[in-house]
Each structure stands twice: as C-alpha cells, then as structure tokens.
Amino acid sequence: MTFAWPWMLLALLVLPLLVVRYRRLQARRGSRTDRLAAAGLSPVSTSSGGGGRERSGRAWVRSVTPVLFLAALALLLVGLARPQAAVAQPHRDGTVVLAFDVSSSMAAQDVTPTRIEAAKAAARTFVMRQPGTIKVGVVAFGESGLIMQQPSTDRTSVLAAIDRLTPQGGTSLGRGMQTSLGVIVGRTVQLTQADGSLETTGPDLGYHGSAVVVLLTDGENTAAPDPLQVARIASGAGVKVFTIGLGSPQGTVLTVDGFQIATALDEPLLRQIASTTDGAYYSATDRRSLTTVYDSIHPTWTVEVKRIEITALFAGAAGLLLVVGACLSLIRTGRVIQP
C-alpha cells in the first residue's frame, strides 16, 4: 500500500498524546471518586453475585469504547494520507492488424457478392466487437504490401480503411506479413535476401506478445519473400499470425474482368505460417463462416496493475467503529460521550 500524501501520516503522532491525556483524566477522576467515597458522598453498592458480574461487564464496555473511538480516529488520519492499493485488472489489450489479400482473384463472385466484399463485411463486424483498448490496423497486400490504416482505437478510421480495399495484382503472403510487422513495431522491417535465406536488418524488432496479425487470402503465394521465413521473424518478435483461407484447395478457374484466372488455396502453407507463430489456421468458404472465424480470434488477456485510492474504505471502517463505540456508550451510560 502506498500513499498519495504520505506527509499526512504525521497526524498519527496526535494519538499517543490523546492516550496520555485520557489516562490522566481517568486517574484524576478515580482520585476524585476516592475522595468523595472517603467523605461518605459516594454511593457504595452492597450487591454481590450477579451485581459483580454486571459491574465487570460495564467495566469491559467502559474500557472497549475509548479503544474503538481511538481506532476510528487512527483510520481517519490514515485516510487523510490518501492510501492507494495496487490492484491487478485483467483486460484485453494489444494490437490487431488485419492483412487483406487484394489480388485480382478476390473479385470472384463465388462468395456473395464477391470474396473481397464478404471479407470486408466480416472484418467490419470483427472491428466493432473489439474492446475499446484494442488498436486495429489495416494492411492490403498483393505483390507488395500497403498500410491502409495505422493501429488505432478510432473505429471510424479503421472501417473507412477497410472500405477502400480494392482487388488487383498477384499474391505475396511474405510482403503482407512484412508490412504488418512494420505496422506493429512502428518502423519498416527491412529484409535482405542472401543465399536463399532472409534476415532482418537494423536493430532488433523487440517483443510484441500482445500483437496479432489476421492474414486473409484466397490463393497461392506467387511472389517473394518466402512467407515461412517472414513467419519465423514474426515468431521471434512474439507476434502471432492467424491465417484465414477463403476458397478451395482443389482450385478453380475464375473469370475476373474478362480474364480467366486459375486459383487454388494453399492450405498447407497457411497452416505452417500459423503453426510457426503459435497462431491458428481457419478455413472460410462463405460470408457466414468468415464472420464465425473472426469471432474466434481474440487478442491476449493481459493483467495491468493499477493503483486505486482506497480512502473510502478507511473512512467506512472508521465510521463503523464510531457507530459501534457510540452504541456501547449509549447502552452503558445513555450518552455517546462517556462520563
């Protein structure tokens, strides 16, 4: 427990002075009673048995009541220092980057009204269901990656970015993840290709365990870099990638803008990407299943320790002690202030 105004605890030094003052008053009162008794001016009780027990009970009440009042005063003085307690509060927190495949095949109409529109509709529902503490970013990728919206809690801006998505070009899953990583770490993630492998350049990406990438695609990877290598980089940064496959592994030929395009969903690759980053793969065949898939993706629960002022608890406890002490005093003497 900590205090916002710790210097107010100096007020507790008053308590020993009050105790000393009270004991002196009690001693003075006892001396006066003895003098009156010696002069025959004080009533002397001759009852025994139950009367003795009654006097013993009253003496107990008489000694407890001031203790209760003193304890209540101590709590009130501590409350003046504004005590604070550290409370762990679990909540969903982090960053979600929605990475959309906007290749030409996403304009296919095998999903009503089109694949891209169905994906956008499901994404809108997902965004609106996220807690206000979650930042959502949007990335579009074809043969390259493009940041449509930096992570933000402004749902209007995120939805507007989703609305701007239009299909064109090929598919590079690696570029989609690379761009998404850049959004999460706050800078461009540079990749260099040497001897068939990919390495990060520049400083370490750090650890981003509360960030996830939702990668939606309907086809095969057709351009560099190697998506599995990028997935390993994401895993090293603590970023989970959830992959969503929209389409069929058997493949089909689609007519888009008068051109025939052969497309097939590479489920094994999407499963490997998800497995490498401790994410999950989902298959979606229509708009309804897309919405269900999005609902199953949740950012990580985190625990944030917050300091909460608990002055009210001290004041309430002090008030309770005062009420109990007052009741005991009323029962014994008929007055709140003891004679």
- Percentage of the chain beyond pLDDT 70 is 73
In a shared domain, residues 292 and 313: no
pTM of the complete model: 0.61
Structure confidence at residue 152 as a pLDDT band (50, 70, 90): very high
Return the bridge partners of 276, or none. none
In a shared domain, residues 13 and 111: no
Asked, for residue 24, whether it belongs to a domain, the answer is yes
Averaged pLDDT, 277-301: 71
In a shared domain, residues 162 and 235: yes
In a shared domain, residues 142 and 278: yes
Residue 57, domain extent:
2-30+53-86+308-333
Q: How far is CA 152 from CA 120, 146, 241, in A?
A: 18, 16, 19
Q: How far is CA 110 from CA 101, 168, 215, 259, in A?
A: 16, 17, 20, 16
In a shared domain, residues 273 and 251: yes
Neighbours of 234 (CB within 10 A): 28
Structure confidence at residue 46 as a pLDDT band (50, 70, 90): very low
In a shared domain, residues 209 and 239: yes
- Which 3 state secondary structure label does DSSP give 111? coil
Q: What pLDDT is stored for residue 201 in this prediction?
A: 44
Q: What pLDDT is stored for residue 301 in this prediction?
A: 56
163 vs 26, residue with greater confidence: 163
- Kindly report the CATH number assigned to the domain that includes residue 133: 3.40.50.410
In a shared domain, residues 114 and 235: yes
In a shared domain, residues 181 and 82: no
Q: Each residue of 209-232: b (16+ CB within 10 Å) or e?
A: ebbbbbbbbbbbbebebbbbbbbb
Least confident of 45-59, 83-97, 294-308: 45-59
In a shared domain, residues 154 and 226: yes
324 vs 249, residue with greater confidence: 324
In a shared domain, residues 71 and 122: no
Q: What pLDDT is stored for residue 337 in this prediction?
A: 59
For the chain, how many structural domains are there in total? 2
